[in-house]
Amino acid sequence: MTMYLMLFRQGQSAVSAMLSAIGGMYEDNLYLSTLYEYLETPVPPSIGIAQRGAKPDDGIRFEQVSFTYPGAGEPALHDINLHIRPGESLALVGQNGSGKTTLIKLLTRLYSPDSGRILLDGTDLRDWDESTLLQRIGVIFQDFARYQMRVGENVGAGDVSHFEDAARWREASDKGMASEFIDSLPAGFETQLGKWFKDGRELSGGQWQKIALARAFMRSRADILVLDEPTAAMDAAAEATIFEHFRELAGNRIAILISHRFSTVRMADQIIVIQDGRIVEHGSHEQLMALGGHYAHLFSLQAQGYR
């Protein structure tokens, strides 16, 4: 009896060990399935070869562009028409979910429009050589990456061919107005960031955003600069100074800004108000104020808060 009892016990523990091993395997597989899903994402090969546009200095044109995300019911953008010339700045205004980021994603060719076309210097984005096109665009999205690396490398990530170039880090940080706070860190550009490391420092939201801005300025060859709400965690004065600075540096470049702060938005040459994926108003600050529509309402609403 004793022997059978012991055998039964041993069998029981073997079965439970087997079950927990199977459970563990299933769990690991779930983690890996994300990787496989990513690896299987179809990426259409780039067929474009254009290195230069047909009409240099024409800037960016959207012609009747519509786009629906794969699997989504409603289109995210409807019949968008706009033209931005080199040297101009454009601000996008609209509620969350109105399609502002989607417009930037189409411009950076992360997605292709379902209908209509986007032209850069008179040539369709699809006909551009992909790496030439990407070199011309510098974007900071609102959910930019916060690398657990040194400060300098976080800035250098903006242009991988100059990842370790300390002189370029300095230059980009000056433009992104990050130098002052970086110099106040214990080891300057060599400071380790992130809590994964023993001596890693964590930065405030506004400080991370300054690093992200500096990263955008690493792309010195980019003549289209896009800031998608990267200054939301900064104070209003810092945001206004940065945008002013951004416009000065932009020179003959195209600057596109998404912001909810009208004090900054008003400085842009063109302002576009997007609602549910459609452009509802378009013009300069003065024109839109004179129009007395949605923009004028939102502007005075925000201005009232400061009175």
Nearer residue to ligand ADP within complex by CB, 60 or 80: 80
User: Given the structure tokens 């955008």, which residue do they identify?
Assistant: 216
Nearer residue to ligand ADP within complex by CB, 151 or 257: 257
By CB under 6 A, residue 111 contacts ligand ADP: no
Q: Exactly one of 2, 13, 41, 96 binds ligand ADP (CB under 6 A); which one?
A: 96
By CB under 6 A, residue 101 contacts ligand ADP: yes
Name the minimum Å distance from CB 91 to ligand ADP: 13
Residues 223/84, Cβ–Cβ less than 8 Å: no
CA angle 187, 191, 197 (to 5 degrees): 135
Q: Exactly one of 23, 56, 97, 251 binds ligand ADP (CB under 6 A); which one?
A: 97
By CB under 6 A, residue 98 contacts ligand ADP: yes
CA angle 296, 288, 143 (to 5 degrees): 75
C-alpha 191, offset from chain centre = 25
User: Given the structure tokens 């699997």, which residue do they identify?
Assistant: 71
By CB under 6 A, residue 259 contacts ligand ADP: no
By CB under 6 A, residue 168 contacts ligand ADP: no
Q: Exactly one of 53, 59, 99, 158 binds ligand ADP (CB under 6 A); which one?
A: 99
Q: Per-residue x/- mask for ligand ADP, residues 31 to 70, rule CB under 6 A?
A: --------------------------------------x-
Q: Which residues pair with 257 in a beta bridge?
A: 91, 227
**CA distances to 91, 117, 139, 250, 277 from 256, in Å:** 6, 19, 9, 10, 17
Return phi, psi of residue 153, to 5°: -70, -35
Site residues for ligand ADP per CB under 6 A: 69, 72, 76, 94, 96-102
